[in-house]
Amino acid sequence: MTKAKLTTQDIDLSDARYYINREVSWLGFNERVLQEALDLRTPLLERLKFLAIYSSNLDEFFMVRISGVMEQADAGVHPETPDKTSPTKQLEIMRSHLVDKVQLQHQTFEQHLRPALTEHGVYLENYRDLTKEQTFYLRDYFEKRIFPVLTPLSVDPSHPFPRMSNLSLNLAVNVVDPETGIERFARVKVPSSLPRFVGMPEPLCTYKGDPCVWIGVPLEQVIAENLSYLFPGMTIVGHHLFRITRDADFPVLEDEADDLLIAIEKEINKRRLEGFICRLELESTMPDEVKEGLMRELRVSGDRVYEIDGLLNLKDLFFFLSLPLPELKDKPWVALVPPKLKPIVDLDEDGNSSYSEHPPNIFATLREGDILVHHPYESFAASVQEFVTQAANDPKVLAIKITLYRTSGDSPIVKALIAAAANRKQVVALVELKARFDEANNIEWAKKLEDAGVHVVYGIVGLKTHTKTILVVREEGNEIRRYVHIGTGNYNPKTSKLYTDLGLFSCREELGADLSDLFNFLTGYSRQKAYRKLLVAPLTLRDRMEALIHREIDHAQGGGQGKIVAKMNSLVDYAMIKLLYQASQAGVEVDLIVRGICCLRPGLPGVSDNIRVISVIGAFLEHSRIFCFHNNGQPEYYIGSADWMTRNLDRRVEAVVPIEDPALVSELQTILDTLLDDNRQAWEMAADGTFTQRRPRDGEAERGTHGVLKTYFLRRDRG
């Protein structure tokens, strides 16, 4: 008797086996980052960069995600998640994964990349392998530059075990008093204010007598070899390096805070010194008695200890990208000026160039039509920055309103807003003080903006303002015209060179009116729930996205073509995943481009046969969000700030905008086609959650997204 075939009606889409645990999926993403460091096709210094990114990502993951799961496990709670994995089981899975991958990371550096550097004249040496002249230099450097900064902290009945700051690198030092024979323990913090690697000056920049590009040692070794300066008259028995990571996810009780800015300043201090220790990294050579003493004093169990063979805190490997070895790096990319924003060349009376160039009036340009910009291929400075700068100095501009989630410490955008306030324009800046790990920077800018006369708003209680929007109000004759920028990325000139992001400039009245309503929602008391064009979270975005997916289902079930292509950073929201499964069951073709976390399982028979998932990892960080719904041959395209995560759809203020100009739609389709066609940087996801990197077939040309798009924009620039 044959077994009856299951129909879609027989499949329970709530079954835990159809969902991947969020934390486990993130570990898979970071493993793909690590693989870029292992890939021999990646230039050497870029491989070091990916090791540094892997470490930096892992630091934040421990501080926020793993620490949160630890608290759940300790409290004995089991939050309901679609995958039904308990907190205790999650911790077991994560530790098992990380022990192996962290070991692989350090083996890669110590056994492969560190020796490879020497082939190019770069030597990260051990202190004791240096020449006598080099050690004399380091001793002098220690006395003049390092010793004054150090503070040894002893541990005895009158000196309790010191509190240690988050992510601090420390030396555990054992000393013996020769007069009493008593052994003591002390801690010496490796100052983060000093460079991690100490290089030799030019006369001593040699290896075995031959000149080299760079030679130096880790800062902690310079300190360790000169501990006698810190403990004169004592006998140094041993010294061993360790590093701690603290829980950094402190909730701010906004309803109880009289002043949100002050409350968040207090939270930052808590994060540095008060969070429980969720990870202890230490040198594998540390003796058991020292390790056990540290674990006891720091109140850390063995499952939170990671023993490292080699250099601790590989995040500092970013340093090596500063070396003058361009052949070991990706070819630098110089962002292009968008065609419609290219400088205007002034001509003299005879029609010859006067060699004077200036940007076009961006408002006049926008009156001719919308502009879509794509960073880092196209210049942030010549587009977004220029937009705000011109608005700040244009006498016809009456008001500028902007949302700031993350920006750089020397932001030209903020300086332009200050200039606008000085020019007596109405300037409103919504500064998101709760942008994790950027709180201190945002507080500093909030204060400077307020001092300059800018109206600074901190957002809405209970919601993070994550949207990327600018509204410029301009007086033109007898009417008021509004100009907008709606983007997928932060107003940060530094990350705009590394993150792929899109932004729409427009003066369409419907968008201007929508942004006016959105800013009123953010700065005042408003129950605004209807928008003309914008999809706004937490008000309309989820409902509209679900309606668009349902429409594709209706097309497929009605004999038409149902198709969805969606690009985002993370796909986590249970309701959206379940709806995508329903779409697949109805015959809708779904292509998902998800850089990071993906809790959906593609290719499951009867559940997600029609869903494909790829992740693209490379020189640029894929950050843009693009959503395309085929609509039976009349496709609709959207870009915006929101991923399909519950927090983005329900607990953040987000804005997603339709792209309607046919030329701009063509640009978006080119981007999506390039990503889906990638055979170099793209990873294909299997139903079990694993990823396999695509490789060119024999005789097939390599098609890496970032290289292909660079060529595309260069050709367009050259006409």
Q: What is the pLDDT of residue 463?
A: 84
Q: Let me know: does 64 contact 249? Beta carbons within 8 Å.
A: yes
Q: Which two tokens stand for residue 462?
A: 């209970």
Shared domain for 520 and 541, answered yes or no, is no
Looking at 502, 531, 560, which one is the last position of a domain?
A: 531
DSSP-derived secondary structure letter, 641 = S
Q: What is the pLDDT of residues 295-333, one digit of tens each?
A: 998 999 999 999 999 999 999 999 999 999 999 999 999
- Please compute the mean of the pLDDT values over residues 439-445 and round it to a whole number: 72
Shared domain for 17 and 134, answered yes or no, is no
Q: What is the pLDDT of residues 466-519, one digit of tens each?
A: 999 999 999 999 999 999 999 999 999 999 999 999 999 999 999 999 999 999
Residue 400 makes CB contacts below 8 A (sequence gap 6+) with 388, 391, 392, 417, 420, 425, 426, 427, 428, 470, 471, 472, 473
Shared domain for 308 and 433, answered yes or no, is no
Q: Let me know: does 415 contact 388? Beta carbons within 8 Å.
A: no
Give the residue carrying structure tokens 């008259």: 233
Confidence of residue 356 (pLDDT cuts 50, 70, 90): low
**Residue 480 Cα to chain centre, angstroms:** 38
Domain count, the chain: 4
Shared domain for 87 and 134, answered yes or no, is no
How far apart CA 262 and CA 266 sit, in angstroms, is: 6
Looking at 50, 85, 120, which one is the last position of a domain?
A: 120
Q: What is the pLDDT of residue 373?
A: 98
- Please compute the mean of the pLDDT values over residues 655-671 and round it to a whole number: 98
Domain that holds residue 38: 12-120
- Domain holding 21: CATH number? 1.20.58.310
Shared domain for 137 and 55, answered yes or no, is no
How far apart CA 540 and CA 483 sit, in angstroms, is: 23
DSSP-derived secondary structure letter, 598 = B
Q: What is the pLDDT of residues 179-200, one digit of tens each?
A: 888 888 899 999 999 999 999 9
How far apart CA 160 and CA 137 sit, in angstroms, is: 36
Q: What is the pLDDT of residue 3?
A: 43
Residue 347 belongs to a domain: no
Percent of the chain having pLDDT more than 70? 91
pLDDT exceeds 60 at position 446: yes
Q: What is the pLDDT of residue 405?
A: 82
b/e per residue 328-354 (b: at least 16 CB within 10 A): bbbeeeebbbbebbeeeeeeeeeeeee
Residue 338 belongs to a domain: no
How far apart CA 171 and CA 290 sit, in angstroms, is: 11
Q: What is the pLDDT of residues 402-426, one digit of tens each?
A: 998 877 767 899 999 999 999 999 9
Q: Let me know: does 589 contact 596? Beta carbons within 8 Å.
A: no
- Please compute the mean of the pLDDT values over residues 560-585 and round it to a whole number: 97
Q: Which is more confident, 152 or 48?
A: 48
Shared domain for 430 and 551, answered yes or no, is no
pLDDT exceeds 60 at position 52: yes
Confidence of residue 464 (pLDDT cuts 50, 70, 90): confident
Q: Let me know: does 105 contact 194? Beta carbons within 8 Å.
A: no
Residue 355 belongs to a domain: no
Active site residues: 466
How far apart CA 498 and CA 34 sit, in angstroms, is: 18
Residue 329 belongs to a domain: no
Q: Let me know: does 394 contact 363? Beta carbons within 8 Å.
A: yes
Q: What is the pLDDT of residues 254-270, one digit of tens each?
A: 444 445 555 555 655 65
Q: What is the pLDDT of residue 437?
A: 60
Confidence of residue 526 (pLDDT cuts 50, 70, 90): low
Shared domain for 105 and 145, answered yes or no, is no
Residue 340 belongs to a domain: no
How far apart CA 675 and CA 709 sit, in angstroms, is: 9
Supply the mean pLDDT for the chain: 91
Shared domain for 197 and 303, answered yes or no, is yes
pLDDT exceeds 50 at position 612: yes
How far apart CA 628 and CA 572 sit, in angstroms, is: 19
Shared domain for 242 and 197, answered yes or no, is yes
Q: Write a three-state SS string for 85-124.
A: CCHHHHHHHHHHHHHHHHHHHHHHHHHHHHHHHHCCCEEE
- Please compute the mean of the pLDDT values over residues 562-571 and round it to a whole number: 98
- Please compute the mean of the pLDDT values over residues 679-701 and round it to a whole number: 96
pLDDT exceeds 50 at position 593: yes
Residue 308 makes CB contacts below 8 A (sequence gap 6+) with 102, 106, 281, 282, 283, 284
CA distances from 160 to 153, 245, 400, 596 (A): 9, 20, 54, 43
Q: From start to end of 191-276, where are the E strands? A: 197-199, 206-207, 210-211, 214-218, 235-246
Looking at 266, 298, 321, which one is the last position of a domain?
A: 321
When computed from its CA atoms, the radius of gyration of the chain, rounded to whole angstroms, is: 28
Q: What is the pLDDT of residue 541?
A: 97
Q: What is the pLDDT of residue 237?
A: 93
When mean pLDDT is compared across 242-256, 277-291, 307-321, the lowest value belongs to 242-256
pLDDT exceeds 80 at position 569: yes
**Residue 665 Cα to chain centre, angstroms:** 27
Q: Let me know: does 252 contact 260? Beta carbons within 8 Å.
A: yes
Q: What is the pLDDT of residue 700?
A: 94
- Domain holding 678: CATH number? 3.30.870.10
Q: What is the pLDDT of residue 257?
A: 42
- Please compute the mean of the pLDDT values over residues 543-554 and round it to a whole number: 98
How far apart CA 575 and CA 493 sit, in angstroms, is: 35
- Domain holding 222: CATH number? 3.30.1840.10
Residue 705 belongs to a domain: yes
DSSP-derived secondary structure letter, 642 = -
Give the residue carrying structure tokens 């600074």: 456
Residue 354 belongs to a domain: no
Shared domain for 54 and 190, answered yes or no, is no
How far apart CA 668 and CA 676 sit, in angstroms, is: 12
pLDDT exceeds 60 at position 343: yes
Q: What percentage of the chain's residues is helix, strand, coil (to nearest 5)?
A: 40, 25, 35
Shared domain for 510 and 623, answered yes or no, is no
Residue 595 belongs to a domain: yes
DSSP-derived secondary structure letter, 694 = -
Shared domain for 51 and 139, answered yes or no, is no
Q: Which amino acid is at 5?
A: K
Q: What is the pLDDT of residues 65-106, one digit of tens each?
A: 999 999 899 888 888 889 999 999 999 999 999 999 999 999
Percent of the chain having pLDDT more than 90? 79
Q: Let me know: does 487 contact 384? Beta carbons within 8 Å.
A: yes
Q: Indicate the helix (H) or strand (E) that contains 28.
A: helix 22-38
Q: Let me know: does 280 contact 298? Beta carbons within 8 Å.
A: yes
How far apart CA 590 and CA 60 sit, in angstroms, is: 32
